[in-house]
């Protein structure tokens, strides 16, 4: 079974279900999700007042997701990107490009 993150619609349904006084298990059945998924979502994204707010939950999810992902290595418009594109157009292989960049001691290549 593969995991699919909760959509904004599902988060909205959680908020409505909680406002209606539904149990977490009932909300899970309604969304065809595991009760533990609903419980974790509510626990992670409650406001300081204890309310579950869809917009807050969605924003928090995006922030958590961005902080755990590595920084992009090749960003269109920067010097490294342009150099890699140029070398690819000259039919260099990715391995050849990596070797050439190391030999050139391209600034921040190993960090990129």
pLDDT digits (tens, 9 = 90+) for 16-66: 999 999 999 999 999 999 999 999 999 999 988 889 999 999 999 988 888
pLDDT of residue 112: 47
**39 and 86: one domain?**
no
Any residues with CB less than 8 A from the CB of 53 and at least 6 apart, and which? Answer: 15, 45, 47
Q: Which residues, listed in sequence order, are joined to residue 52 by a DSSP beta bridge?
A: 46
Does 38 fall in a domain? Answer: yes
Mean pLDDT for 1-14 is: 85
* Domain limits for position 43: 8-68
Number of folded domains in the chain? 2
State if pTM tops 0.85. Answer: no
**64 and 15: one domain?**
yes
pLDDT of residue 65: 84
The beta-strand segments (E) located in the chain are none
**18 and 59: one domain?**
yes
pLDDT digits (tens, 9 = 90+) for 69-87: 787 778 898 888 999 999 9
């Amino acid at each position: 079974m593969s995991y699919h993150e909760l959509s904004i619609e599902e988060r909205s349904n959680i908020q409505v279900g909680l406002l209606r006084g539904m149990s977490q298990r009932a909300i899970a059945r309604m969304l065809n999700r595991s009760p533990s998924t609903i419980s974790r979502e509510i626990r992670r994204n409650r406001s300081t007042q204890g309310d579950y707010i869809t917009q807050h939950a969605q924003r928090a999810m995006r922030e958590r997701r961005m902080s755990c992902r590595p920084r992009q290595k090749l960003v269109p418009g920067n010097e490294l990107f342009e150099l890699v594109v140029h070398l690819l157009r000259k039919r260099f292989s990715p391995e050849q490009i990596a070797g050439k960049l190391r030999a050139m001691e391209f600034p921040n290549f190993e960090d990129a």
